[in-house]
Amino acid sequence: AANDKKPANKEYIQKQKQILELLIIPNQPEYNPEHAQVGQQYNPRDNAADFTNSRAVKNFINAEKKGFLPQNEAFSPSNSQQLEQMVTVFDFFYFAKDFSAFYKAASYVRLHVNPYIYEFAFRAAVRSREDTKAFYLPPLADTYPFFFADSQAIQQAQYYKHQGMKQGTFYRNYTGYQQAHQRQSEQHHDENAHFPFEYESSQQYENYYSQYNYENRLSYYTDDVQLNEFNVEYYLMNLPFFNTQKYGAKNQDAFSGEEFYYYLQQSLARYNLERSSNNMPSVRPISFDRPITPGYNPNTVLRNGEPIPVRPNNVLFNNANSYYIMKLKDVERRLRDAVDSEYAVGADGSKVHLTAENGIELLGEAVAGSFESVNKEYYSVQKGDYGFVGYFQLFLQTVGHIVDPYYQKGVAPGALAYFGTAMRDPLYYQIVARVVNLFQSFKNKIEPYGRQQIDYPEVKVESVDVDELYTYVDTRDIDLQGAVQYQRGEQAENYDYRARHYELNHKPFTYKINVQSTNDRQAVFRVFIGPKYNVNGQLYTLEQARKYFVEFDRFVYQLKNGQNKIERNSQQSGIFVEDQKNTRTLFREIQEGQISYYENPNEYIGFPQNLLLPKGNRAGQEFTFFVIVNEYQPRPNYQGQCYFPHVDNKPFGYPFDRRVHEEYFENAPNAFFKTVKIYNKYKSEVNSQ
C-alpha cells in the first residue's frame, strides 16, 4: 500500500505540523506559546460565523458556563455526563467551517477544557472531518503513555526529570515472572529477560504460573501497545453517536453493524489462536451466575496520579450496580428474542425481519447502541442527552465499575471502562465471547453455503507455498515525554525517557499461490490462518475450527487466462498494518519536508503487523493456512469505516461465517488448505536463518 501514498505539499506539511503540536503535552495547555496565544485571542461568542451549525456553538458556550470536568479529573467514556461533554466539544470541532476555524477552536479548547476530553474529542474530529482525515495523528501511547506504561516506569521518568537527567530507559514488565528465567542460559539472558513465553516446553512453568495468575502468560499479547491503540482508533472511526441525520456524513462514514461484529469476532479469534499457542483452552464466555475470574491488576495510573483499581479474583457479578445488571439482562433478553424469532421490534412497534442479508447489520447496530439502530430505546440504555449505550459497552461499563459500583468511594473506573486499557484485561475477551455468541446464534440459523456459493469453477488453486514461519520476542519503546512536567521554555524533544517492553513479532514471510484461470478476470483472494488441533491435541473438524480462523490478508488480483503465479509478502497485508509513525519521526519528516500520506485514513488502521502470526512453539506448532478465490464484485454503497480492504458482495467472515459442509470446501477448486508450522525462536536465531 506504500505505493498509494502521496507526497505532501507545503500546505499539508503546515497543517500536519499544527495538528501534531495541538496534541503534544495536552496536560500542559500553554506548552506551545504560539497555540496558546491563538487560544487566548479567540472567543467562540464573537465567532459564531466560523461554524456551520449554530446549535453546536451555543451548546459549547452553555457547557462552558455550567463548567466542564475540572482540569485534573480523569475522563471516562462510561460516565454519561462526561461523555456528553466530550460530544459537545466534538461537535464544536466538527462543525468548524474550515481548517482555520478548526485550528482556532482547538487552540481555544486546549486552554479551557479538561485535557482528557480535549484530546479524545480532537482525535475523533480529525478522523471524522473531511479536511483532516488524511493527516497523521501521533500514537496515543506518545501523548497519553499512562495507559500503556506501568506506574513504576512513569514514576521513574518523573524522578529522572526532577533530578535533571535527560534520558533513561525503564523496563516495563506486567508479568512479574522474573524468577522463571533463572534456568535460561547466559547466552540468551539479556535478550529475553522478563519474557517466559518461548521455551521448549511451558510445562516447567505451570506450577509457577498457578501461584499467580494463569491468564497472565498471555500478557505479552494483551498488553501489546499497538493492539490497544487500534482499539481506540477503531472506536474513534466508528462513533456510535455519529449519524447522517445530524452530521450529514457520507455513506462510507456511517457506522456498520456488520463490521462491528466482524471486528469483535476477529479480535476473539486472534486471541484464541494465541491461547492455543500457550496450551490454553479457548475463552469461556462470561456468566452472570459464576464468580468473575481472573482478577486483574493493571498496574496503571491516570494522568492525575489516580490508579486504575485492581479487581480481585472471584468477585461476584451481583457486586456490580444492580440497576445496570437489570438493564443488561433486559437488553440481552430482547436481543436474544430478536435472534430466536428472527424479528426485531421497530421504533414504531412494527416487526423488522432479520434476514441472511440484513440480520447481522441490524443486530450489530443494536448491540453497539448505534444512532442508526432499528430501535435505540428498546435495544440500548439511554445515558444522558448525547445518545444511547449499547449492550456491549454496557457490559464493559457494568463490570468496569464493579470495584466501586455506586460511586461511593471515589475510585476510578476499572480497566474495562477505558478504550485504551480494556483489551489488556482478560475479562474483556470473556465479554466479547458472550457478545459474539449472540451474533453466531443468529448465523447458525442461516443455511450453510451451498456448493455453488463456495465454488468458483473458472479458477483452480493448484498449490500454495509458504516460507518457514518464525516468531520471536522483540522490544518496543514507549516514549514517556507526555508523562512528565516541563518548565516554561523547556522543550520535550530534548528529553528522552522510554518504557521498554517485550512483544511478539515474526519474521516477514512470502507465500506463493499458483492459480489456473479459464480467462482474464478480476478476483478477490482471502487468506486465513486457523488452528489444526485443539488444546487436547485432537484434530479439529472444519466446523469446530471455523470460528477460530483469522483473516490476515485480502487482495484483488487481475488473473490472466492460463497459469498465474502470485507472490505475496506478509507486509503487504491490508488487515495487519505497518507500525504507526511515532511523534518524533513525524516531526523529523515534517522538518525535512519528506512526509507522504494516504488520502484514505483507513490505510493507517488495522491489527498490528507484529501480531499477524500466533506464537507457535519451539518445536513448531501446526496451523492451517487457507486460501479461497472468488469473483470480485465490489459492494455498492457500502456504509462503514472499514479497516478491511476490498469490501465485496460476500458477508464479512465469508466463507467461515456460517456452519459449513466440509466436503464442499475439500472439493472446491478455488480453495486450498495447507498445513504450516510456526516456530517460536530466539531473535538471534531467527536473524541467522
SS3 annotation, 389-422: ECHHHHHHHHHHCCCCCCCCCCCCCCHHHCCCCH
Q: What is the pLDDT of residues 1-14, one digit of tens each?
A: 444 688 999 999 99
Set of cell numbers at residue 45: 461568542
- Stretch among 44-53, 116-125, 642-651 having the lowest mean pLDDT: 642-651
Buried b (16+ CB within 10 A) or exposed e, 226-243: bbbbbbbbbbbbbbbbbb
Q: Is residue 218 part of a domain?
A: no
Q: Do the Cβ atoms of 512 and 567 come closer than 8 Å?
A: yes
**What dihedral angle (degrees, nearest 10) is formed by the CA atoms of 209, 210, 213, 214?**
80
What distance in Å separates the CA atoms of residue 56 and residue 129, rounded to the nearest whole number?
15
Helices (DSSP H) in 500-582: which residue ranges?
542-545
Decide if pLDDT at 214 tops 90.
Answer: no
What distance in Å separates the CA atoms of residue 65 and residue 88, rounded to the nearest whole number?
13
Residue 250's pLDDT band (cuts 50, 70, 90)? low
Residues 307, 247: one domain? yes
Residues 57, 100: one domain? yes
Domain boundary among 135, 151, 176: 135
The predicted pLDDT at position 637 comes to: 74
The predicted pLDDT at position 249 comes to: 65
Q: How many residues does the chain have?
A: 689
What distance in Å separates the CA atoms of residue 198 and residue 276, rounded to the nearest whole number?
14
The predicted pLDDT at position 194 comes to: 40
What distance in Å separates the CA atoms of residue 589 and residue 583, rounded to the nearest whole number?
10
The predicted pLDDT at position 676 comes to: 98
CATH code of the domain in which 664 resides:
2.60.40.1520
Q: Is residue 96 part of a domain?
A: yes
Residues 440, 457: one domain? no
The predicted pLDDT at position 46 comes to: 96
Residues 408, 455: one domain? no
Q: Is residue 557 part of a domain?
A: yes
Domain boundary among 135, 166, 201: 135
Set of cell numbers at residue 489: 521554555
Report helix, strand or coil for 670.
coil
Between 457 and 600, where is the model more confident?
Answer: 457
Q: What is the mean pLDDT of residues 501-530?
A: 97
Decide if pLDDT at 207 tops 60.
Answer: no
Q: How far is CA 165 from the centre of its chain?
A: 35
Q: How far is CA 353 from the centre of its chain?
A: 31
The predicted pLDDT at position 516 comes to: 98
Q: What is the pLDDT of residues 299-316, one digit of tens each?
A: 999 999 999 999 999 999
Residues 381, 527: one domain? no
Residues 456, 432: one domain? no
Q: Do the Cβ atoms of 628 and 524 come closer than 8 Å?
A: no
Closest-CA residue to 601 (of 251, 234, 352, 267) = 234
Q: Is residue 99 part of a domain?
A: yes
Domain boundary among 89, 109, 135: 135
The predicted pLDDT at position 350 comes to: 97
Q: Is residue 353 part of a domain?
A: yes
Cβ partners under 8 Å of residue 88, min gap 6: 56, 59, 60, 63
HSE-up of 110 (CA within 13 Å, CB side)? 33
What distance in Å separates the CA atoms of residue 16 and residue 26, rounded to the nearest whole number?
17
Residue 635 CB neighbour total at 10 angstroms: 14
Residues 395, 428: one domain? yes
Burial, 163: exposed, middle or buried (Cβ in 10 Å; 0-12, 13-18, 19+)?
exposed
Rg (CA), the chain: 25
Residues 121, 65: one domain? yes
Report the DSSP beta bridge partners of residue 568: 511
Cα separations (Å) of 406 from 83, 394, 535?
A: 18, 15, 40
What distance in Å separates the CA atoms of residue 406 and residue 637, rounded to the nearest whole number?
45
Burial, 56: exposed, middle or buried (Cβ in 10 Å; 0-12, 13-18, 19+)?
buried
* Residue indicated by cell numbers 490454553: 280
DSSP class per residue in 315-370: B-GGGS-HHHHHHHHHHHHHHHHHHHHTEEEPTTS-EEE--TTTHHHHHHHHHHT-
| 96 secondary structure, DSSP code | B
Decide if pLDDT at 186 tops 60.
Answer: no
Cβ partners under 8 Å of residue 93, min gap 6: 102, 105, 106, 109, 121, 122, 125, 129
* Residue indicated by cell numbers 461523555: 83
What distance in Å separates the CA atoms of residue 174 and residue 217, rounded to the nearest whole number?
10
Q: Is residue 104 part of a domain?
A: yes
Instruction: Count up the domains in the chain and report the number.
Output: 3
Mean pLDDT in the chain? Answer: 90
What distance in Å separates the CA atoms of residue 42 and residue 19, rounded to the nearest whole number?
17
Residues 307, 261: one domain? yes
Set of cell numbers at residue 121: 474529542
Q: Is residue 621 part of a domain?
A: yes
Decide if pLDDT at 179 tops 70.
Answer: no
Q: What is the pLDDT of residues 400-418, one digit of tens each?
A: 999 999 989 989 999 999 9
Set of cell numbers at residue 432: 466479547
Q: What is the pLDDT of residues 348-382, one digit of tens each?
A: 999 999 999 999 999 999 999 988 899 999 999 87
Residues 544, 622: one domain? yes
Q: Do the Cβ atoms of 282 and 275 come closer than 8 Å?
A: yes
Residues 392, 455: one domain? no
Structural domain containing residue 663: 451-468+509-573+612-688
Residues 561, 651: one domain? yes
Amino acid at 581: K
Q: What is the mean pLDDT of residues 71-92?
A: 89
Q: Do the Cβ atoms of 601 and 237 come closer than 8 Å?
A: yes
Set of cell numbers at residue 153: 516506569
Pairing of strands 550-559, 671-680: unpaired
CATH code of the domain in which 102 resides:
1.20.1370.10
